[in-house]
Structure 1
Amino acid sequence: MKLPSFTRYDWLLQLTALPVYIIIYNWLIIGDNYWHSWTTFGMATGIAVVISLSNWYTISYINFEVRSRYVTLQHYTKRAVPGFIMASVSSCLHYSLLFLLYQWVNLPGFVPDPFRLGLVLLISVIAVAIITAIYEGIHNFEYWRYSRRKADQLSKAQLQVQLDMLRQQVNPHFLFNSLNSLISLIDEDPRQAGAFAEELSTVYRYLLRSNEAPLVPLTNELEFIQSYYHLLKTRHGQSLTLVTLIPPSAENRQIPPLTLQLLIENAVKHNIVLPDQPLTISLVADEQCLTVSNNLQRKSSPVLSNGVGLSNILSKYQILGQPVPTVEDDGQEFRVTLPLV
């Protein structure tokens, strides 16, 4: 038989309620004679303490067994009703025994009165109902808090899984595109290919490190973008320009990592980048948001795309519970406005 463990609520309730029960029940059973003799007062109080503690422990065991079988909030009636009935029976039996013990020990000043016993039993049942309601309230609140904590933990775990899936999309995607550029440079300009490979190693170290967190400071992303921009300049030269207008007040705000890299990569991938048709990409921010824009000069032939870039960014913001970025295309300029966290 597993014994019940008492919580701080149990001890607090009994330390405050038990002395009150003993005094009231003895006064109801014995009457005013309870106060007129130290002998009567001492004997009755001592016997009542033993009976009351026995009753408390019995009721606690009953509640322990019932709650171990019916735990959830949906089992409220299956837990409360049997618990109330059995606890009421226990109280009635214990205080009936108290009444009989006073007779048996010939308690001075005690006159057996069935009416007084009935009144005590009625009050006991009412007290059990009140205590049952208190315990159920505490139990339900604790279960609700436990369920809420578990739901939060599950939500965080799901969030982490979703973010990890997005990161697994970005890493191979970025590496694949970068290696394609490196292969092209090897044939065209081996010296530039060597410089490109060195910059690529620096950039990829940041990519791996930044993916450890769901959000990174904007200033970190901007430093990374400068390194990434050098890679693009190695490939495209003066055909590509990056304009950055970021106030100092916005640099400490946060965004999902690699967001800017994906948008810049998409702009280069889907637009013509030639000396006579230069591509200009702008990063303009205030304290609330950052806008990434580029002039539109789409390639005549469709570009093979797996849709990782923009959809990845939108998914990250949704998973993190942040406002979704807005996308605008007026035929002359393509703009993505990113909320800053």
Structure 2
Amino acid sequence: MSFLTSRNLRLRLLGPIGLFAFGLIFFKLRMYLELSPRDFLWSMLIGLFCGYIGWELARWVVRFIQKLYPGLPNTRRRLGRLLFVIILLANFNTFLRSGVNQLLNPGLWLYDLYDYFETVGIQVVYVCVYVSIYEGSYLIQQWKQTYQEKEQLMRAEWQARFDSLKSQVNPHFLFNALNALSSLIEESPQLAGRFVDELSKVYRYLLYANDRELTTLETELRFIESYVHLLQTRHGKGIQVHLSVPPEYLHYTLPPLTLQLLVENAVKHNIVRTSQPLTIDISTAFTQPTEVQLWVRNNLQRKTKAVVSNGVGLNNIAAKYRMLTQSDIIIREEADHFTVVLPLLSHLN
């Protein structure tokens, strides 16, 4: 990019002026005040001229070293070479200023060893400012780029994991449903036919949900009613599900099939009998001005025989929430109740 079209044009134009004013006030004020107006004007012009040359030279050298040793991994090597460059540029600027002074205004400045070291010290400060500006902005740019790349990779990784989790749900549900259907065919062919009808409705929702990361609570509740009806086809009054969700919360969202997994988890681990019904309550709680929670609570009546679990249920839900919101679900197990608390998300666009 050319000088005129450079984004940092203002910095390159005003930077040397600002540094010259800084050096005049803090380093050479008394000496400049002792000069005649003519000599002061000459010294100011020469100082600005050398300042612009020093700024552009430092800028070019820093950019060159950044091309030789690019990126954050080479920061240490780059800084080591820039420290050496600072000393060289400080001496170059000192000799440049001395040479131009002697050429344009001979006799005004007479340098001895003390003046040389003093001027080099001042130039070291100037060059450190030049280098800090361009190397600092380069480091910030590289850090932002690295952060964005890592964020994109992380999003891609989370998306892959999320898709993997979604792909586990359909085969898992179908496996359990077919086992239930197999039992019903022997017990009651009529109930088995009804079960197949309800299963087709439920599976249509599974196909719909498989392509979505979020669904509305209203849609999920309609599905869970069909799913519970399917369960009641097999268990009768042994399972009861009570829904208590105000209409104003129906537009909130959650990962699809969340309620199905929770209901299935409750059925899997608890006794379900007409004489000992499993009761599941699904309700909402308003905790903060912008936070609504969904509570899924069932009475706890563990099966005496250990249940083999493949870890899809609660682990699947917890993983989905961590991927989508970086928040965790709350699981509470009391003496007679088991509760899962889920944060409801903002409505879909």
TM-score (norm 1): 0.75
The answer to whether the 8 Å contact 1:163/1:316 transfers is yes
**Is the CA contact 1:284–1:290 (under 8 Å) kept in the aligned structure 2?**
yes
Whole-Å separation in 2 of the counterparts to 1:22 and 1:277: 89
Which consecutive unaligned segments of at least 5 residues does structure 2 have?
288-292, 345-349
Distance 1:272 1:255 in 2: 28
Counterpart Cα distance in 2 of 1:303 and 1:43: 90
Matched, 1:114 2:111: yes
Q: Which amino acid aligns with 2:333?
A: E
Quote the RMSD (CA, aligned, Å). Answer: 4.0
Aligned residue for 2:108, secondary structure, equals coil
Percent identity, aligned pairs only, is 30
Aligned-residue offset at 1:272: 4.3
Q: Which residue of 1 aligns with 2:125?
A: 126
Cα deviation code 1:263-293 (max 9, x no counterpart):
1112233444444444332213212433323
Aligned partner of 1:328 in structure 2 is 333
Rounded Cα–Cα distance in structure 2 between residues aligned with 1:83 and 1:3: 24
Change (3 A) 1:303 1:85: closer
Aligned in 2, Cα 1:224/1:206: closer, same or farther, shift over 3 Å? Answer: farther
Residues 82 and 234 of structure 1: is their aligned pair in 2 closer, same or farther, counting only changes over 3 Å? same
Paired with 1:277 and 1:66, the residues of 2 have a C-alpha distance of 78
Kept in 2: contact 1:270–1:303 (CA 8 A):
yes
Q: Which residue number corresponds to residue 197 of structure 2? A: 195
TM-score, normalization by structure 2 = 0.74
State whether residues 178 and 200 of structure 1, in contact with CA within 8 Å, keep that contact through their aligned partners in structure 2: no
Provide the C-alpha distance between the structure 2 equivalents of 1:43 and 1:282, rounded to a whole number of angstroms: 86
Q: Which amino acid aligns with 2:108?
A: V
Q: What's the offset of the Cα at 1:321?
A: 2.5
Secondary structure in 2 matching 1:67: helix
The aligned length equals: 327
Identify unmatched segments of 5+ residues in structure 1.
Answer: none
Cα displacement (A) at 1:313: 2.4
Change in Cα spacing, 1:128 to 1:81, as seen in structure 2 (3 Å) is: farther
Q: CA deviation at 1:53?
A: 4.5
**Change beyond 3 A, Cα 1:199–1:20:** closer
Q: Which residue of 2 aligns with 1:149?
A: 148
1:114, CA displacement in angstroms? 1.6
Indicate the residue corresponding to 1:208 in structure 2: 210
**Please, which of 5, 10, 13 is the counterpart of residue 12 of structure 1?**
10
Cα pair distance change 1:271/1:114, threshold 3 Å: closer
Seen in structure 2, the aligned counterparts of structure 1 residues 55 and 158 have a Cα distance that, compared at 3 Å, is same
